[in-house]
A and B are shown apart, each in its own frame.
Chain A
């Protein structure tokens, strides 16, 4: 009798002292192991999320916020600055993410056939710049883009007889400059993911292709590329999410200027929240950003769940 009540444990829904004691004897440690992370999660993620949602319907003030309904959302939809920021973010994303994935894939394809020693060398070489911070990189590129002939890029231009360009001070070239620096950024992490995925493709597929006298291009197109799709998709989504949140370059190098040319969504949120202290408007903007990112993530999960079999 006693034994049966013990084995059924918490399954008996009756809330008794005995049951509670048994529940803690069985699962106490499990909950203890996740207790601190859960408290922190509620305090620093759930609570702020709820508050941000509330702020987005208010005109925030330390002394007492005023409820203004959808006014923040309405005013951002009607604000030309918001749409400029949206356009800049989209241009930045479209110009950086696909190109950088292609560069990554191209480099990984070239590293893959090499011997172990060379592989490790190139993996490390392409990874190393990635451990430098966004701030450090932004300062270096600020100096490379210097408008005088002392800046490295203009020095190269002058060498070929071209005039110096005001890279960051000209609204036509500022955003392009921020895009350009990502091409020479670190592709190490993506290369490692691609190489791991390439290592997982069965050799027999290529051997079968060899029997059919398939060329290099046809193998890439018909075997490698389709089987790397999950990795490509992962890099695409991660790339889009992080480029939608790009901030440091715009803050350090251009302050969102000139003439809003490099004002991204993330920069605009910072500007409205911590320069104008319009927390309500900034919260509304952050929810629009969040909505876009969640849509992208959901699309990713949909695609990822269709597993590839070989």
Chain B
């Protein structure tokens, strides 16, 4: 090959590289555009909720709708609190979600640790029965559970009824077992040789290591219970015992036309979860993969 030919070849290669880079850059730009458009689309319902909650009762029924309220007002929020009960519903949701978060973290972590790290007769059988029960849809157990709580225990319309069936869920035990299994056994064995009692090993050795996993478990439990609807809806009858989600649906039938108040109520219900998410983002983004499949 002459030097001349080599030079031409080099030039051609350079051109190819440049072309490839250009393709890469346009491809990347295209990706950003599509992702941003889709992200905006998924945010439209939430944005529309905020926008609608800031309109007064005449602006909200206007055709075509104002995309940005011309005279933003907090009237709708005032109406939400005039109904009575909203603050109480908020408090109920907070109480129920907090109790269930604590009980699930404590009980699921103990059971998860036992299934992951301790050896005792029947542990595999018991665990598989629990795991298998996760396939049973809630609709099946719902009716007898309702009869048990309402007719047998006679505790309908109490905090007790709201929390008792989900004090610790099988899904959480499974999740806890998954991350407990990944902790090193050597430290547990070392503690056992030092004649630590089992509760002390759990408290001093396991808990500090399992903290990130337990945080994920706690956060997911809190959000799930804040958002849960069906069970609270079944077992509450008085206005004072309703949780936020149940109370919120009553807006649908009290104010068939007052979408402003409905959206304001929705905003007040959703905002605590947005805050939880934004503050604890890393747990949400890492946590989901703990309990799921490898692959």
Asked whether B140 is an interface residue with its Cβ less than 8 Å from the other chain, the reply is: yes
Q: For chain A residues 288-308, which have a beta carbon within 8 Å of chain B?
A: 289-290, 293-294, 297, 304, 308
Chain A residues whose CB sits within 8 angstroms of the CB of B263 once the complex forms: 139-140, 143
Contacts of B295 in A (CB 8 A): 197, 200, 227-231, 234, 308
A185 to B43, CA, bound (A): 9
Of residues 272 through 295 on chain B, the ones whose CB sits less than 8 Å from some CB of chain A are: 273-274, 276-277, 281, 284-285, 288-289, 292-295
* Contact count band on A: 35 or more
B31–A286 contact, CB under 8 A? no
| Known contacts A34-B114, A110-B34, A196-B289, A135 near B136 by CB under 8 Å | no
How distant is the Cα of A193 from the Cα of B287 in the complex, in angstroms? 10
CB distance from A3 to the nearest CB of B (A): 18
Find out whether the CB atom of B48 lies under 8 angstroms from the CB atom of A304. no
From A52, A125, A133, A297, give the contact of B270 (CB < 8 A): A133
| Alpha-carbon separation in the docked complex, A189 to B60 (Å) | 34
Q: Which residues between 55 and 84 of chain B lie within 8 Å of chain A, taking CB atoms? A: 60-65
Could you tell me the distance between the alpha carbons of A228 and B34 in the complex, rounded to whole angstroms?
A: 22
From 167 to 186 in chain A, residues with beta carbon under 8 angstroms from any chain B beta carbon are 181, 184-186
Chain A neighbourhood of B173, CB < 8 A: 37
Complexed CA–CA distance, A279 and B148 (Å): 13
Q: Which residue of B lies closest to A242 (CB)?
A: B137
Q: Inside 8 A of B48's CB, which chain A residues have their CB?
A: 140, 143-144, 152
B259 near A: Cβ within 8 Å?
Answer: yes
Residues from chain A with a CB closer than 8 A to the CB of B202 are: 33
* Stretch of B4-12, B105-113, B209-217 with 4 or more beta carbons under 8 angstroms from chain A: B105-113
Q: A159 contacts which chain B residues (CB < 8 A)? A: 64
Within 8 A of B (CB), among A1-58: 10, 26-27, 29-31, 33-34, 36-38, 40-41, 43-49, 51-52, 55
* Contact, CB under 8 Å: A10 / B121: yes
Residue of B nearest to A287 (CB): B140
Q: Smallest CB–CB gap between A115 and chain B, Å?
A: 10
Q: Which residues of A contact B249 (CB under 8 A)?
A: 135, 139, 251-252
Q: Which of A117-158 contact B (CB under 8 A)?
A: 118, 120, 122-129, 131-137, 139-144, 146, 148-152, 155, 158
- Whether B167 lies near A40 (C-beta < 8 A) is yes
Q: Which listed residue (A107, A118, A135, A144) contacts B45, Cβ 8 A?
A: A144
Chain B CB within 8 A of A247 CB:
yes
How many residues in B have their beta carbons less than 8 Å from beta carbons of A? 94
Q: Closest residue to A196 on the B side, CB-wise?
A: B289
Q: Is A113 an interface residue (CB 8 A)?
A: yes
Instruction: Given A128-B277, A279-B147, check contact A52 B110 (CB 8 Å).
Output: no
Asked if B208 is at the interface of the complex by the 8 Å CB criterion, the answer is no
Chain B: CB-nearest residue to A118: B32
Residues of chain B within 8 A of A136, CB atoms compared: 49, 227, 245, 248, 266, 269-270
Q: How far is the CA of A70 from the CA of B113 in the complex (A)?
A: 44
Complex: how many Å from CA A143 to CA B261? 12
**Is B227's CB under 8 angstroms from A27's CB?**
no
For B269, the chain A residues whose CB sits under 8 A away are 133, 135-136
User: In the bound complex, how far is the Cα of B123 from the Cα of A192, in angstroms?
Assistant: 32
Determine the chain A residues whose CB is within 8 A of the CB of B226 once the complex forms: 133
CA distance in complex: A120, B284 (Å): 11
Give the complex CA separation of A134 and B278 in angstroms. 19
The answer to whether B61 touches A45 (Cβ under 8 A) is no
Cα of A159 to Cα of B65 in the assembled complex, Å: 11
Check if B86 is an interface residue, CB within 8 A of chain A: no
Residues B142 and A286 in contact, CB atoms below 8 Å apart: yes
Contact: A290 with B136, CB < 8 Å? Answer: yes
Provided the pairs A34-B115, A133-B269, A269-B139 are in contact, do residues A124 and B285 lie with their beta carbons within 8 angstroms?
yes
- Tell me whether A48 and B145 are in contact (CB under 8 A): yes
Smallest CB-CB separation from A187: which chain B residue? Answer: B42
Q: Given known contacts A113-B31, A150-B65, A152-B48, what 18 new A-B pairs fall within 8 Å (CB)?
A: A41-B130, A44-B148, A45-B141, A51-B147, A55-B143, A125-B42, A126-B42, A127-B277, A134-B229, A140-B263, A141-B45, A143-B263, A152-B65, A158-B63, A193-B292, A234-B293, A273-B142, A294-B135
Chain B residues close to A by CB (< 8 Å): 28, 31-32, 34-35, 38-39, 41-46, 48-49, 52, 60-65, 107-108, 110-111, 113-115, 118-121, 123, 126, 130, 133, 135-148, 151, 164-165, 167-168, 170, 173, 197-199, 202, 223, 226-230, 234, 245, 248-249, 251-252, 259, 262-263, 265-266, 269-270, 273-274, 276-277, 281, 284-285, 288-289, 292-295
7 chain-A/chain-B pairs, Cβ below 8 angstroms: A33-B202, A48-B148, A227-B295, A283-B140, A283-B144, A294-B135, A297-B135
